[in-house]
Chains A and B, each alone.
Chain A
Amino acid sequence: MGYLVRRLEFFLVTLWAALTLNFILPRLLPGGPEVALRTRFHGRVSPGTIKSLEVALGIHTQQGQLQQYLEYLGNLLHGDLGVSLGFYPERVTQVIMVALPWTLGLVGMATVIAFVLGTLIGIFGAWRRGGLLDSVLPPVFVVISAFPYFWVGLICILLFSITLGWFPQAFGSSSEVTSELSLPYVLDVLWHSILPAFTIVLTSIGGWILTMRNNMITTLAEDYIRMARAKGLSPTRIMFQYAARNAILPNLVGFAMSLGFVISGALLVEIVFNYPGLGTFLLQAVNNEDFSLMQGLFLLITVAVLLAVVAADFLTAWLDPRTRERA
């Protein structure tokens, strides 16, 4: 139980840190939302409207800092992220809800594919040390994972869409197909997601291959594996049920911990492909100096990653008795 308590503490502290960071940053750094707000709406709306906007954004300076902080936390508890400056008068939550399904679909799918495929390749690579998989793939993917995600996306567009014309170059779906839940629409969406998903898989798979391979190599040297071989068990059984089963645990935790990195890269891929997900909105927020949307996205993504980490922790505790005992 102690293990889970410790992880829960971590979850709460991180959540609090992210929320507080989000509150402090605009107040610490120069050129905050007030300036942006005044330049954006100056002369276009009455001073009264600006005042009420400031209230809606929580940046009016009448109250003390502590009171503002408490109000901010209270708003968050109600799921209120304020008004978007760039999409005024829409609320940040509304804007996010439009983009969220796209990112969940694309990044979720690509990440799961990369994890499963990478783990499998890692298992086989470690099993046949010195074989083709083991000697060629790891160095290749070490190099590829040093490539900027978005640049790989640009290259994919250049190759597969501009030169070869196989896949669409941008957007989540064609404008000719109406967005209703019909077969043509679903196929169209899938069609548009192939190239960005391929980019994300290509650039993130290397990490999974390498960690899994290294874990497997360590595990394969254990005595119980030699025992299993001595008993004459089939190689497949040793590989999957004896070695991989234990080696995958650190990979699972690593999966959750590096989700933040993967999502960061995926957001840039979305930008390159003009995909209508969170990344593209993040870019628009930057261009519009839409601080409330930017911060809302930061919070949402952080919380999502945190939930994934906690889920992975619970899964590990359930799968691995040692984590429960150690505490």
Chain B
Amino acid sequence: MGLDVRLVAEQPAIATEAARPERGALHIVAGAMRSNRKALVGGVILAAFVVIAVIPGLLAPYDPHAQIFEQTLGPSREHLLGTTGNGQDIFSQLIWGTRESLAIAVVAGLMATVLALLVGVSAAYLGGLSDHLLSLLTDVFLVIPTLPLMIVVAAYARSGGLAVLIAVIVITGWSYGARQLRSQALSLRNRDFLDAARMRGERTVYVIAFEILPTMTSLIVANFLGAALYAVLAAAGLQFIGLGNPSDMSWGTMLFWAQNNGALNAGSPLWAVVPGLCIAMLGAAFALLNYAFDEITNPALRPKPRRAIEPSSRSSKFAT
């Protein structure tokens, strides 16, 4: 799974943008889309999928499950993308599959981010032995190979359906974010405004929830994007090998059926190509937004105009 993208964000400079609690998450995303083309492309793709997921019934011409057409038809006016080896309309399947695929990405991404926040921020804030143990736990989950673990869990709890799928993705997907959030929270720990809050006698929960978290909004959003990308790919992989619920309609299960019917050789390559393309586009949307975020929060990485570049004194100021 292409998780390598998430390594990109591991830059110390993220902290520079930190102390602006007045900007909400939506503001940050909107601002990013205005100023960055990559963010714009990612945002538009994502918005299109959200629309499709909300109103599939208006867009899809046929019932996605109904096996009522001739098998392995090519693209035509009646069947924009042809039909499957079982005589279902591929375009309708694609439209209806958007909902579950997107839902998994968003829900699993959100839950993984919350878990990462809980572990990462408490580790940084508590310090000492708690920090050591929580960091150790994070590293353990970071390094255990996710696919075999996911497969073992999903295979045992096969009957659990969507909830198990999401749980498995969250369990294997939170650790990277926790590590990042911990290091940023660590850099905040000794700031004056936190001292002031403690001086006022605020409780720990209040300090974490209302003083620390708002300053970390941009990193949290970036983390959600990374976790959502992970969820898209992980769900696709699990469903592809048959560990989702094969009777659900989603892009991953479409690929599962396509592969099991030998779609590539049986004259219906679109059956395997198009759902994968949708997964790739949704993944790319999250990855582009994440990448653009990295550029925005870390000015040193922004694209520079083409010229023979000396590392100027300006960029070194930001890079540390």
Contact = CB atoms under 8 A, between A and B. Distances in A.
B170 interface: no
A264 B140 contact: no
Given A142-B288, A214-B301, A258 B4 contact: yes
Nearest to B279: A148
B283 A148 contact: yes
A204 B3 CA distance: 8
A109 interface: no
B28 interface: no
Contact of B229 (A14, A17, A146, A207): A146
Nearest to A10: B139
A207 B146 contact: no
10 contacts: A10-B139, A134-B303, A147-B276, A211-B10, A217-B301, A229-B310, A264-B148, A268-B240, A282-B151, A287-B242
B201 interface: no
Contact of B140 (A17, A217, A218): A17
B259 to A, nearest CB: 8
A65 B68 CA distance: 53
B149 interface: yes
Contacts of A203: 2
Given A14-B139, A25-B156, A294-B152, A129 B304 contact: yes
A286 B300 contact: no
Contact of A268 (B8, B147, B291, B306): B147
B236 A151 contact: yes
Report the contact-size class of chain B (Cβ under 8 Å from the partner).
Answer: 35 or more
A134 B304 CA distance: 9
B276 A221 contact: no
Contact of B144 (A10, A14, A162): A14
A221 B316 contact: yes
A206 B3 CA distance: 10
B4 A146 contact: no
B79 interface: no
A305 interface: yes
Interface residues of A, number: 84
Nearest to B142: A257
Contacts of A139: 38, 288, 291
Secondary structure of the B side of the interface?
A: helix
Interface string A289-316: 1010011011001100110010000000
A279 to B, nearest CB: 9
Contacts of B229: 146
B144 A143 contact: no
Given A151-B280, A261-B146, A286-B241, 14 more contacts: A18-B144, A31-B159, A130-B304, A146-B233, A147-B276, A148-B233, A148-B237, A148-B283, A158-B264, A207-B7, A211-B8, A254-B10, A282-B148, A286-B243
Contacts of A265: 1-2, 147, 237
Contacts of A151: 236, 255, 272, 276-277, 279-280
Q: Which of B146, B152, B300, B305 has the most CB of A within 10 A?
A: B152
Contact of B303 (A30, A135, A283, A301): A135
A265 B272 CA distance: 18
B32 to A, nearest CB: 15
Contacts of A92: none
A258 B3 contact: yes
B14 to A, nearest CB: 12
A145 B241 CA distance: 20
Interface in A20-61: 21-22, 25-26, 29-32
Given A147-B2, A154-B273, A221 B315 contact: yes
Contact of A295 (B5, B152, B305, B319): B152
Contacts of B163: none
Given A151-B280, A286-B242, A218 B319 contact: yes
Given A131-B306, A257-B143, A283-B241, A289 B269 contact: no
A264 B234 CA distance: 10
B143 A306 contact: yes
